[in-house]
Structure 1
Amino acid sequence: MQANWSALDSDPRRLLQLAGEQGGARAANPPRPRNSLLRGLANWGGGRLISAAMLLLASWAIWTVHRAPAWHVHWVEVVGCTLISPEQVVGAAGLADAWSVELEPVTVAERVRTVPGVRTAQAEVWLPNHVRITVSEERPVAVLQEADGQLWVTERGQLLCPFGKVDHLPVLALPSGNWPGESMPAEVINGLSAMAAAFPGQSEFQYDPMKGFMIKDNRGYPVYLGNASELARQLAVAAALDKQLRAKGQVPQFVDLRTVAGAYYR
């Protein structure tokens, strides 16, 4: 038995094989590091202390910026106002002592669009304290004279309280009462424009919601023209009819030319 072990131990290849098997066993089961309880607590608490410190630092920075006057709105630039006062736009925007960091441009623009006469509005916030508001205005094309006062008629037919001063607007005067609606049809606005072009020395035009535009013949009777959609033909027919009536010595109560084909007088 002793001879066999000696022979085995004297074989170099067998010794290397045994050494490799022992080394592989040790590598498959490496020693586990020993972590102490104190080290674990230190790692756990240290990470949370860092997070808390960063949170406190961020809160302090926000608080400092919020209190700093440099980050509150100091300069409001208003572009596009010709009839509306810039002060009215700024007041509607709600920017008094506003913190520029929390301003929402969309919200500011929505507030400005509530101002009478503002058609579109856009707001831009430039840090630290500059706000720019760009507006476009409704364009008045006529004045509507009602029993209760005057309204502006815009190119889109809106009826608005006057929000500025515009000279030489044609006046659409109602014989009584107020306009039956909240807007004016485009055909009425176009008719008023045609009337103003046909009678350049006249600034006020009578309009009856039922019979349309009305002019008076030099003999005093009214001529109703509807929306004056065929004004040139209507005036030509009115002149020819008046000539015939004069020849007969007749003075009608009125002439209705709301449609040329259906013209009649009484």
Structure 2
Amino acid sequence: MSEKREISRAETARQRRAERTKNELEQTSRRAVKPVMPVTSRVTQSYVVPKPRRKAKNSRRFSAIFGVSDIQMRRAGIRLPRVQASWRLTSSLIAVLLGIVIYLVLTLPYFHVPSATVLGNNRLSREEIDAVLGVTGQSIFTVQPHELATRLQMNYPELLSVEVNVYLPNHVYVTVSEREPLILWQQDNGYTWIDSAGVAFRPRGVAEGLVPVIGLNAPPAGLAPAEGSLIPQSYMQEDLVKAILVLAPTVPVDSMMIFDPSFGLGWTDSRGWQAFFGTGMQDMPLKIRVYQSLVDSLVERGIAPEFISVAYPDAPYYRMSKDQSSESTDIGQ
């Protein structure tokens, strides 16, 4: 009886241990698969929404019975730091690059003008024009064509027109047109050239076919140019220039045309008198015909006057010298 009791007690102890181990395993399994209870936060929800994580590509999953349902192992990747350039940094870089470019274009000899190319000049030399321009060795980007053209016309009134063109990398072309002199005006031991517009300018070289005129005084000036115009002030009226050109073929070979402010254009005839025709161009051909008729009449009658004026062709007159007998000076008498 005692042995049965002892066996019964041992078995009972083993059974109890087995049941307790079984219960512990069951509790452990239930805890592992038991869902996690949701947690309610008492903090106010933030407006910043976290970005969802992207699932790593080519990830490998490993399942194991370690009390966790799923374990993910991701492949390690290399991430470069992100550089965020601000607008201030970008504008600073642009300003530095522009400064470098400006410095290079202003200092590189490749963009420096060796000398200006002058076209159309005849009497005015290239060296004289280049000296006024002052562009030799200057950067092509600092050359101002309008300013150069103005400078040339202000220094050389004999230039009728000036055109300045600039081309990369270092070319400056200057095209000029010179005034053609028609009159050699002599006054007060000096002389100047005058063109068809009455503009006076410095004589250069030799010009053929000029009409020489001796001025006893300054001629009447032409109209003032418009404000801001580069055309120089005319030394004499354009009408007077035309009158000189029309009268020039009538001047005797051994005489020279003169200008008197009181009587106009004329000359001293070798036969002993002075002849004057005024300054008007409109009736100058008629004045010449009247003068020739009057001279023929006086020579035929043997009259040698001291002064003849046909400034008014409808009322010409002549004057005798004081030591000659008094005669009528009106051609109509």
Question: TM (normalized to structure 1)?
Answer: 0.75
Q: Show the 5 A alignment for 1:1-266.
A: 32-33=48-49, 43=84, 46-116=86-156, 117-174=158-215, 176-179=216-219, 181=221, 183-199=235-251, 201=253, 204-227=256-279, 229=281, 230-266=283-319
CA distance in 1, matches of 2:297, 2:170: 76
CA distance in 2, matches of 1:97, 1:192: 47
Amino acid at match of 2:309: D
> Is the 1:101–1:128 contact (alpha carbons within 8 Å) kept by the matching residues of 2?
no
CA distance in 1, matches of 2:99, 2:178: 43
Higher RCO, 1 vs 2 (CA within 8 Å, ≥6 residues apart): 1
- 1:87/1:148 CA distance change after superposition, 3 Å: same
CA distance in 2, matches of 1:253, 1:137: 43
Amino acid at match of 1:186: E
Query: Matched residue of 2:182: which SS?
Result: strand
How many residues are treated as equivalent by the alignment? 231
CA distance in 1, matches of 2:258, 2:125: 32
The aligned counterpart of 2:56 is none
| Structure 2: tracts of 5 or more residues without a match | 1-44, 52-82, 222-233, 320-333
Cα distance, 1:75 vs structure 2 = 4.1
The aligned counterpart of 1:25 is none
Question: TM (normalized to structure 2)?
Answer: 0.61
Percent identity of equivalent pairs: 24
Amino acid at match of 2:199: Q
The aligned counterpart of 2:230 is none
- 1:30/1:64 CA distance change after superposition, 3 Å: same
RMSD: 2.9
> Is the 2:182–2:209 contact (alpha carbons within 8 Å) kept by the matching residues of 1?
no
